[in-house]
Copies of this chain bind each other. A is one copy, B any other.
Amino acid sequence: MKVFRLSFLFLLLCGSAVAQNADSVMFRKLFDEALVNGNSYQNLEYLCKKIGPRLSGSANAQKAVEWTKKLMEGYGFDRVYLQEVMVPHWVRGEKETAKILVGKTQISVPIAALGMSVGTPKAGVTAEVVEVQSLAELAVLGEKGLKGKIVFFNRAFDPKPIETGIAYGGAGDQRRSGPTTAAKYGAVGAIVRSLTGALDDYPHTGTTLYLPDGKNIPCAAISTKGANRLSTLIKSNPSAPVKFYFKQTCQHLADVLSYNVVGELKGSDKPEEIITIGGHLDSWDLAEGAHDDGTGVMQSVEVLRILKATGYKPKKTVRAVMFMNEENGARGGKKYAEEAKRLNEKHIAAIESDEGGFTPRGFSFQSSPALVRMIKTNWQSLLEPYQASSLTVGASGTDIEPLGIVPGVVLIGFRPDSQRYFDIHHTPADVFENVNRRELELGGAAIASLVYLIDQHGFPKN
């Protein structure tokens, strides 16, 4: 019996080694296809250069919907379809202007209206400016200190966290909730330091969240150099109050019918089980939405193309989803989850790539530490040669989070290196030229490899 048991153990170990080896061979095939015959870079070039900025509700957003649908049809995916979703339609209007007013001196500074902001009156807003570092300071200053003023939120990015997303999270309340909180105390405008650790002249746009009470004040992002200048002038003029002037003509138009764009490779064994990979098709209006999130969208399409090109027949259905409206409403993601629920779809996993097309680091799992431990034990060594083996508990992505309403789905965020992302995030610098071909391709291949593992083995159970 002892001999038998040992032989059995030996066979088990061999079986495991053979499976591991087959996985490793498949990984190499997927990476080779991405690196040698990759299409994502040229597709991204088209999206950025031939279509360009594509904020929800815009004509370009519609062009992007039509083009990505055609692109996936051209690849011969098993099913390509549109999913209707009503989206907000906010427009920036004319280029914003802003000036710091110190006595008779006027100093122009670069601003950009925050997404979803109301415009100013035609003559602009001019008022004394009050600098704060946190929302908590507003309560201390109260209506007495803020009524009729422009509030200037100037808390900087914390340079210490290694992941820049942590600094973004730490400063983000100023943009999201600063303006509405200032409005409560009677402020007439809000200026927010751009959410970046870089020191330059780009204002970084991004959505501000208004309360439904209708007390909305115009708000804009100011470049970090502009913010430093404003802060210095306030500090060096303690007796004479510094004023600020800004004008913007942004407005909300009626909601527009738009679409998530979906492509599928149908599962050969369990077609009812679905693995979704996605990014968002909409982008801010200031640039080409290259890293945010053209790269994620084109990687998602590429994952299906790579799998198909290597001749791999997925057991489960693998779906690439180009979500609409992540930037200012996240309605595409919500709609996708509602439809999944309504149709009783069995989602096994969803992976989002929405942190830029930078060199891969790994994946974060919005799941239990126990599952991540098992994933590391079983799969980490396979990812190591591809430098994408950082597997952690963490956030997934705005578009797939609503899918959490579907029981049993594992939500996963693709994690590229984070160092450069917030230099260009939501600025005119988010252009195709700032994407590196190999970094983009390695990301697509890493996602394809994880999809392959989930498809072949399901998530590890021990």
Contact = CB atoms under 8 A, between A and B. Distances in A.
A160 B437 contact: no
Interface in A127-185: 159-160, 162, 164
A438 B359 contact: no
B31 A442 contact: no
Contacts of A417: 359, 387, 417
A39 interface: no
Contact of A437 (B198, B385, B390, B442): B198
A423 interface: yes
B160 A32 contact: yes
Nearest to A389: B390
A204 interface: no
A35 interface: yes
Interface string A25-42: 000000110011000000
Given A164-B438, A387-B390, A437-B198, A159 B35 contact: yes
A361 interface: yes
B36 A162 contact: no
A360 to B, nearest CB: 10
A22 B40 CA distance: 46
A94 to B, nearest CB: 30
A386 interface: yes
Interface in A11-68: 31-32, 35-36
A7 interface: no
A197 B438 contact: yes
A35 to B, nearest CB: 4
A235 to B, nearest CB: 21
A97 B36 CA distance: 32
A224 to B, nearest CB: 12
Given A359-B417, A419-B439, A442-B419, A387 B162 contact: yes
A70 interface: no
A36 B160 CA distance: 7
Contacts of A387: 162, 361, 390, 417
A125 B359 CA distance: 43
B439 A162 contact: no
Contacts of A439: 419-420
Interface in A431-461: 436-439, 442
B359 A419 contact: yes
Contacts of A442: 162, 419
Interface in A360-418: 361, 385-387, 390, 417
B386 A162 contact: yes
A159 B36 contact: yes
A165 B35 CA distance: 15
A423 B438 CA distance: 10
A35 B438 CA distance: 27
A204 B35 CA distance: 22
A31 B162 CA distance: 9
Interface of A: 31-32, 35-36, 159-160, 162, 164, 197-198, 359, 361, 385-387, 390, 417, 419-420, 423, 436-439, 442
Given A32-B160, A359-B359, A361-B387, 19 more contacts: A31-B160, A31-B162, A35-B159, A35-B160, A36-B160, A162-B387, A197-B438, A198-B437, A359-B417, A359-B419, A387-B390, A387-B417, A417-B417, A419-B436, A419-B438, A419-B439, A419-B442, A420-B436, A423-B436
